[in-house]
């Protein structure tokens, strides 16, 4: 199971605004697929997954401010569950 999280992209970054979900629970994804768009103080950033699998539950709604490092969803390998 891969945790997809808000990456720390700058020295002073503490949280990000969750702008849009591009993949939804149950969607099949490949490594490198963009899962969500987030906004930092400086830029819009694509959050991608590193492994192929099935997207899990969305843990935050669009519009949420999410702390750096927080898991926003997971990518499940075949046979795995949350």
Partner 1 sequence: MGTREEMLAMLRMMMMIRNFEETADKLTLRGKVSGGMHNSSGQEAVAVGVMSALAPDDVIATTHRSHHHTLAKGFSAREVMAELMTKATGVSKGRGASMHLGDVARGHFGGNGIVGAGMGIGMGAALGIKLAGDKKVAVGFVGDGGMNTGRTWEAVNMAAIWKLPLIVVVDNNQYAVETFIERVTAGGDLPKRASGFGLPASTIDGQNVLEVKDAVAKARDFALAGNGPTFLNAVTYRYYGHNVGEKGQYRTLEEIEDWRTNRDPIDQLAARLFADGLLDQATFDEMTASVEAEIKDAVEFAENSPNPDPADVMLNVDSGKLRG
Q: Which residue number, 24 or 50, has a Cβ lying nearer to partner 1?
A: 50
Query: Which one of 7, 22, 27, 58 is in contact with partner 1 (CB under 8 A)?
Result: 7
Q: Taking CB under 8 A as the rule, does residue 60 contact partner 1?
A: no
SS3 string, 20-71, reads EECCCCCCEECCCCEEEEEECCCCEEEEECCCCEEECCCCCCCCCEEECCCE
Instruction: Please state the closest distance from residue 7 (CB atom) to partner 1, in A.
Output: 4
Q: Which residues bind partner 1 (CB under 8 A)?
A: 5-11, 13, 43, 45, 67-69
């Amino acid at each position: 199971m891969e945790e997809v999280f808000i990456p720390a992209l700058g020295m002073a970054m503490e949280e990000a605004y969750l702008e849009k979900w591009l993949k939804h629970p149950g969607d099949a994804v490949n490594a490198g697929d963009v899962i969500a768009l987030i906004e930092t103080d400086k830029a819009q950033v694509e959050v991608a997954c590193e492994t192929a699998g099935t997207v899990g539950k969305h843990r935050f709604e669009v519009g949420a401010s999410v702390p750096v490092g927080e898991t926003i969803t997971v990518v499940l390998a075949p046979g795995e569950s949350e």
